[in-house]
Amino acid sequence: MRNRPPSALRQAALADLDGLRARHPAVFRAAWSRRAVVIGSLALVVGLAVFAMMRLDFSLLRILHGLHRLSEFAGMMLPPSAEGRFGLFLTALGETLAIAFLGTLTAACLAFPVAFLAARNVVPNPFLRFGVRRGFDVIRSVDVLIWALIWINVVGLGPFAGALAIACSDFGAFGKLFSEAIETADRKAPEGVTASGGSRLHRVRFGLVPAVLPVLASQVLYFFESNTRSATIIGIVGAGGIGQYLTELIRVLEMQQVAFLVLMILVTVALIDLVSARLRRAIIGGAAH
């Protein structure tokens, strides 16, 4: 690679370096305070990491000693086999998809109207917006697994509790995302509706909703894809679906059937990801991934 000759400006600066230092001392002065802040921040992060490792009994030796056990599990998984229970597993997988679909759809339908109350360009009252937004924050701060444990104690074991858990968890997330999408919507259409004599309700219905609907639909599709995995996890605590079979088979070390279930989940998630990506591209264009 050929080195480029220094520019005329660089040559002039190097020739008058002492003069530049004398005229602009602040530029050449070492920013020790900033360096101290950076070094202190790095030291704090490293210190916290070391403290966390000590508190959590982190040990590389334990990992190394357990690697042979991991290889034993991998060997027990081969070859993956349903052992005559393919129909049962397929039904459980369909139940998991139903949990994800109903939970996502319920959360989107409930969050859609409430999100307008949290949007600055719809509700001018800051106290109402603050209350709605904090409500969304409180709901979405509770993990879907916790919601599943709560609903299992309320409505009992089964997929109904799983769908309610996903609906509750996603309600807060959808509310936040929907309100942000509404606030960033193009103002021209709502202003046009207002200028033509439309009421505030007409402004929302004919100005804002058509502008944000593709974005909201894209977000719902993405969450459905993610909730397919979440529905599998909450099945482990008794919320129905394929996760329930997964945890039972792991406990009795039926690893070939576990491997078969994992393959079924991977194929299903890959297909949903493929279809969801195509739908999102069709809805909002090439920006979707």
| pLDDT for 19 | 80
Task: Summarize the confidence of residues 26-44 as an average pLDDT.
Answer: 84
Percent of the chain with pLDDT over 70: 96
pLDDT per position as a tens digit, 224-242: 888 888 888 887 777 777 8
Q: Is the pLDDT of residue 88 over 60?
A: yes
Q: Is the pLDDT of residue 259 over 70?
A: yes
Greatest mean pLDDT among 6-15, 48-57, 75-84, 208-217 lies in 48-57
Task: Summarize the confidence of residues 124-137 as an average pLDDT.
Answer: 88
Q: Is the pLDDT of residue 289 over 60?
A: no
Q: Is the pLDDT of residue 200 over 60?
A: yes
pTM: 0.72
Residue 288 pLDDT grade (very low, low, confident, very high; cuts 50, 70, 90):
very low
Cβ atoms of 236 and 246 closer than 8 Å:
yes
Residue 104 pLDDT grade (very low, low, confident, very high; cuts 50, 70, 90):
very high
Cβ neighbors of 13 (< 8 A, separation 6 or more) are 20
Instruction: Return the number of other C-beta atoms located less than 10 Å from residue 225's C-beta.
Output: 18
Residue 4 pLDDT grade (very low, low, confident, very high; cuts 50, 70, 90):
low
| pLDDT for 2 | 55
Q: Is the pLDDT of residue 32 over 70?
A: yes
- Take residue 21 and report the two structure tokens written for it: 């230092």
